[in-house]
Amino acid sequence: MSAAGDATTGRSHPAEGVERPVLLPGLPAAVRIRDVGPRDGLQSEAPLPVSLRVALVRRLAAAGVREIEVGAFVSPKAVPAMAGAAEVLAELDDLDGVERVALVPNLRGARDAVAAGADALTCTISASPEYNRRNVGMTIDESLAQIEQIGALAAPSLDVVISCAFGSPYEGEIAVAEVARISAAARARGATRITLADTTGMGTPRGVAELLDTLGPAVGMHLHETRNTALVCAYEALRRGVTRFDSALGGLGGSPFATGAAGNLATEDLVNLLDDLGVASGISLPRLLTASRELEAAVGRPLPSAVARSGPRLAA
């Protein structure tokens, strides 16, 4: 059993001789983290071989991550780094106890992902009309029609990720009512889960509070570090009862359709915070840091993660 976590029980364990932190009032006892590094983290990087992408997923699973976005079923011309997503899934068909998630932009991608054996699907729609047009080449209503078709596939679970939920680089503030409208419309069309994405790092604790006051805590959070607000937004979401978070090993990622958009909330940074708060994630921070070093060697540059760079608050 790891000193930092037990992946089979989902419980976190402090290092030997160190008492478990006392859970602060109002925080959930446990959360589920979906690591999106093999997809969102790598999509803007120089393409890595399928073998290295498979190895990354296996390292995350060995650290205790039980939900991993392993790739995207998109045009390899549009996103060269995601070519071979079906091969990645095929190499991971023996990965027991891990939900292998595939991002799909449309019905064709969803069909391909289901045929390749994906355990779950994610599909993005933006609350920003211009971002949606640039990202997937559709209006918001056209994206909702695609979601309805995907939802009718009798496919695995479908998580609709609402990008630019906290603001748009094109339209500025996005009304909470519009995010709520898209969320309700997506659920009516087959979405089994909704995740709110701060695609360009415009989120603040105030914005998190306003959205959750309307939508409630039964949503996921997908946060980016463009303005170094991801962790404070995650903490506000925790205080309000959210128990699902997206993050990416090393803090890699970003959007090619929004100038200056930085990487995802780093999985190491999030787990480091959760461990200190006494919130169980079932993920071993030492194993994550080992995986970070290997990922850094693969991409050939330092990773954005502060904990990968400076180490955890206390040595394991």
Tell me the mean pLDDT in the region 104-131. Answer: 95
Kindly state whether residue 23 falls inside one of the protein's structural domains. Answer: no
- pLDDT score recorded for residue 258: 61
Kindly state whether residue 234 falls inside one of the protein's structural domains. Answer: yes
Tell me the mean pLDDT in the region 290-305. Answer: 95
The pLDDT tens digits of the residues spanning 71-93 come to 999 999 989 999 999 999 999 99
Q: What's 153's domain CATH number?
A: 3.20.20.70
Quick one: pLDDT band at residue 16, thresholds 50, 70, 90? very low
Kindly state whether residue 27 falls inside one of the protein's structural domains. Answer: no
> What residues make up the domain containing 154?
32-308
- pLDDT score recorded for residue 184: 98
Tokens representing 230 are 């991801």
In 21-156, DSSP assigns E strands to 32-35, 67-72, 99-103, 120-126
- pLDDT score recorded for residue 209: 98
The whole-model pTM stands at 0.91
- pLDDT score recorded for residue 156: 75
The pLDDT tens digits of the residues spanning 166-203 come to 999 899 999 999 999 999 999 999 999 999 999 889 99
- pLDDT score recorded for residue 24: 81
Q: Is the pLDDT of residue 155 over 90?
A: no
Q: Identify the weakest region by mean pLDDT among 29-33, 65-69, 151-155, 180-184.
A: 151-155
Kindly state whether residue 143 falls inside one of the protein's structural domains. Answer: yes
Q: Is the pLDDT of residue 7 over 70?
A: no
Q: Is the dihedral of CA 225, 200, 80, 55 positive or negative?
A: positive
Kindly state whether residue 19 falls inside one of the protein's structural domains. Answer: no
The residue among 244 and 18 whose pLDDT is bigger is: 244
Query: pLDDT exceeding 70 applies to what percent of the chain?
Result: 90
Please name the residue that has the structure tokens 């995650």.
Answer: 234
- pLDDT score recorded for residue 32: 98
The residue among 316 and 243 whose pLDDT is bigger is: 243
- pLDDT score recorded for residue 226: 87
The closest alpha carbon to 273, from 220, 233, 302, 213, belongs to: 233
- pLDDT score recorded for residue 19: 65
Q: Is the pLDDT of residue 40 over 90?
A: yes
Kindly state whether residue 114 falls inside one of the protein's structural domains. Answer: yes
Q: What is the 3-state secondary structure (H, E, C) of 191-252?
A: CCEEEEECCCCCCCHHHHHHHHHHHCCCCEEECECCCCCHHHHHHHHHHCCCCEEEEEHHHC
- pLDDT score recorded for residue 8: 35
- pLDDT score recorded for residue 18: 54
Query: CA angle at residue 197 from 255 to 141, to 5 degrees?
Result: 90
Kindly state whether residue 157 falls inside one of the protein's structural domains. Answer: yes
Asked if 208 and 237 count as a contact pair (C-beta separation under 8 A), the reply is: yes
Q: Identify the weakest region by mean pLDDT among 42-51, 200-209, 247-256.
A: 247-256
- pLDDT score recorded for residue 22: 74
Q: Is the pLDDT of residue 9 over 90?
A: no
**Count of structural domains, the chain:** 1
Tell me the mean pLDDT in the region 268-276. Answer: 96
Kindly state whether residue 191 falls inside one of the protein's structural domains. Answer: yes
Q: Is the pLDDT of residue 108 over 90?
A: yes
